[in-house]
Amino acid sequence: MIFGFQTRIVENTKNNRFLFIRGKNEYYQISSSKQEAQIKLLQNNILNALTAGMILRLFFNLEYYFCIIAALIIYSVYLFLFNTKLLPSFDQAAAKNIKIKKKPTSNSTAPLVQGIGFIIIAAGLVYCVLTNQAGDPSMKIMVYAVIVIAVFLGTKQVLNSLANGRL
């Protein structure tokens, strides 16, 4: 079973794109933008499932456990479909023949600014909760979930930017 955090999209010296699976050291040729979109959906599957669960809560006023169950079902179904239907359609490449191109270090500060933006959004939401602007308890729980997601994404962007020397 391959999870989203195990995958990375890499490019070789001939500008071909591959799905790299960490831990297994396997490469799969990406032959279309549709396949790349499917990989990116897998990489963000957990956030997509949680967001869908929150949206179901807002639209249908379901109980929390139904939303959690729905998020788990969405996550599991896509994970199952990717591993059983989509991954076998990719062409596997020999790992020893692939020379990965090193990414040039960019002076762009856009990812750093995005990360800081996520953290500012999280801080604004914390302020809303502290000043009782979040409304009823169910809305507060959703705001807490968005705070956690924003902090996670912001921290990830900032740390990636710092690791790549984009300051």
Which pLDDT band holds residue 23 (cuts at 50, 70, 90)?
A: confident
Dihedral (C-alpha) 23, 96, 91, 2: value to the nearest 10 degrees?
Answer: 0
Which pLDDT band holds residue 32 (cuts at 50, 70, 90)?
A: very high
Average of per-residue pLDDT values in the chain: 88
105 has pLDDT over 90: no
106 has pLDDT over 70: no
Residue 127: per-residue pLDDT: 94
Going by the DSSP 8-state scheme, the letter that residue 61 receives in this structure is -
Q: In residues, how long is the chain?
A: 167
pLDDT tens profile 84-99: 999 999 999 887 778 8
pLDDT tens profile 34-87: 999 999 999 989 889 988 988 888 888 888 889 899 999 999 999 999 999 999
Which pLDDT band holds residue 166 (cuts at 50, 70, 90)?
A: low
What integer is the mean pLDDT of 136-151? 88
- Answer for the pair 50, 145: CB distance below 8 angstroms, yes or no: yes
Rounded Cα distance between 123 and 115, Å, is 13
Residue 15: per-residue pLDDT: 86
Residue 162: per-residue pLDDT: 82
